[in-house]
Structure 1
Amino acid sequence: MSRCRDGRVRSRDEKRKSLYHGRRFPASVISCAVRWYFRFQLGLRDIEELLFERGVIVGYETIRRWCDKFGARFAHGVKATRRKPGTTWHLDEVFVTLRGEPYLLCRAVDQHGAELDILLQKRRDKAAAKRFFKRVLASCSEVPRKIVTDQLRSYAAAKAEIPALAHVKHVFVKASARINNRAENSHQPTRERERRMRGFRDPERTQAFLSSFGPIRQHFALKRHLLRASLYRKQIAAPFAAWRRFTEITQVPSVF
């Protein structure tokens, strides 16, 4: 505790700086721009145009810096508010090309299709699989009951060397049989965004972008085709309320 100039006791919450401390634009503009970038198939210049239409003059490079600074933090908030991960992990990998070089993008999802984690790696060996297993374990609160992968041998070798996963049931499926569709289908939004961005380039920036892109996109991606319009509006209100909470927006932004 400390005292203000007027003698009033200042609480810890008052001493903590705002998430947007030092920013010229209000929180509603920044959080909206970041949400648009990770939620929709929009480029930075598209968001610049949308904001200009609403009377906000900001350059696309500023929007890029907002996404770099706040994207990971907002994605962490999304993960903290989502439901408990499922007990079955589906792991799959897909090749992506960065400046002409092949990289392996490993992704883990649960049986509900929720993305647990992703990792961009250069190799496809036991060490790479072990690194990915440890990363997914660190992001999940509990060990799974079952792990589903393709027939890549490095998964089994890496799993055997991790004590927490050594006795977990491991199911191998053939990639050509499309049995592991839960994980394979999770690559589609990444492929669509890759085409929209005309390919990924830098490995570190790609890892940072995809780590924020998956959680934020899924936070708002309800199965709209299965819901009536009134029910959809009712269910989508909860993700927006959670978004306003961890982005520290005190009220619903009507106009900028």
Structure 2
Amino acid sequence: MAERGVRLTYETSRQWCLNFGQTYTNELKRRRVGLGDKRHLDEVFLTINGKRSYVWLAVDQHGNVLDILVQGRRDKQAAKKFFRKLLKRLQYVPRVIITDKLTSYAAARKEIMPHVEHRQHKGLNNRAENSHQSTRQRERTMRRFT
């Protein structure tokens, strides 16, 4: 616009983004490469306001974060809630679920998704473990979330 002699203010740019930004976002999401059929699931504990909370995270095989859930417990009911939320949002069942060796995953999978292959191994779940790095770095910087 500057080459053509048109002067724009920051407010004009902001209004343009508000009007057309969502349209561009929707189009980019539509063109995005399809999500993989593998899910890497993991949980990590954080201290928020002095209370221990667990962040449940689902990542696909390409490293895209699919869903995040913060809960105060790490048991079978929490895993079932996370599975239901993940299935509701994605609207299809994955082929493989890769987790660490937390037994809550296996118990919840048997009830929610009995036909899905479940791989439990410490080394296979690195994709989800790496997604926690930004959260851990922010927690270290802030000296715990408050």
- Per the TM superposition, whether the score is higher than 0.5 is yes
Give the drift of 1:153: 1.0
Tell me what 1:168 maps to: 116
The answer to whether the 8 Å contact 2:98/2:124 transfers is no
Unaligned runs of 5+ in 2: 1-9
Query: Structure 1 residue 112 and structure 2 residue 62: aligned?
Result: yes
Give the drift of 1:77: 4.8
Give the AA of the match of 1:130.
K
Tell me what 1:199 maps to: 144
Query: Structure 1 residue 190 and structure 2 residue 140: aligned?
Result: no
Q: Deviation per CA, 1:127-146, whole angstroms, max 9, x where unpaired?
A: 00000001111221321100
Query: Structure 1 residue 179 and structure 2 residue 129: aligned?
Result: no
Alpha carbons of structure 1 residues 94 and 78: separation in structure 2 relative to 1, 3 Å: farther
Give the drift of 1:100: 1.5
Could you say what secondary structure the match of 2:118 adopts? strand
Give the AA of the match of 2:14.
V
Give the drift of 1:89: 0.3
Give the drift of 1:78: 8.9
Distance 1:186 1:31 in 2: 33
Give the fraction of aligned pairs with identical amino acids, expressed as a percent.
Answer: 52
Distance 1:154 1:30 in 2: 47
Could you say what secondary structure the match of 1:161 adopts? helix
Unaligned runs of 5+ in 1: 1-24, 33-72, 202-256
The answer to whether the 8 Å contact 1:85/1:140 transfers is no
Q: Write the mapping of 1:28-107 to structure 2, written as runs, cut at 5 A.
A: 28-29=13-14, 77=26, 80-81=29-30, 82-107=32-57
Alpha carbons of structure 1 residues 78 and 95: separation in structure 2 relative to 1, 3 Å: farther
Q: Deviation per CA, 1:48-100, whole angstroms, max 9, x where unpaired?
A: xxxxxxxxxxxxxxxxxxxxxxxxx89x8599443321100000111111012
Query: If each structure's helix is expressed as a fraction of its own residues, which one has the higher value?
Result: 1
Q: Deviation per CA, 1:95-142, whole angstroms, max 9, x where unpaired?
A: 111012111101000111110101001001110000000111122132
In the alignment of these two chains, the number of paired residues is 131
Runs of 4+ in 1 over 6 A off after TM superposition: none
Provide the TM-score with structure 1 as the length reference.
Answer: 0.46
The answer to whether the 8 Å contact 1:95/1:104 transfers is yes
Provide the TM-score with structure 2 as the length reference.
Answer: 0.77
Q: CA RMSD, aligned part only? A: 2.8
Alpha carbons of structure 1 residues 138 and 26: separation in structure 2 relative to 1, 3 Å: farther
Q: Write the mapping of 1:228-239 to structure 2, written as runs, cut at 5 A.
A: none
Query: Structure 1 residue 141 and structure 2 residue 91: aligned?
Result: yes
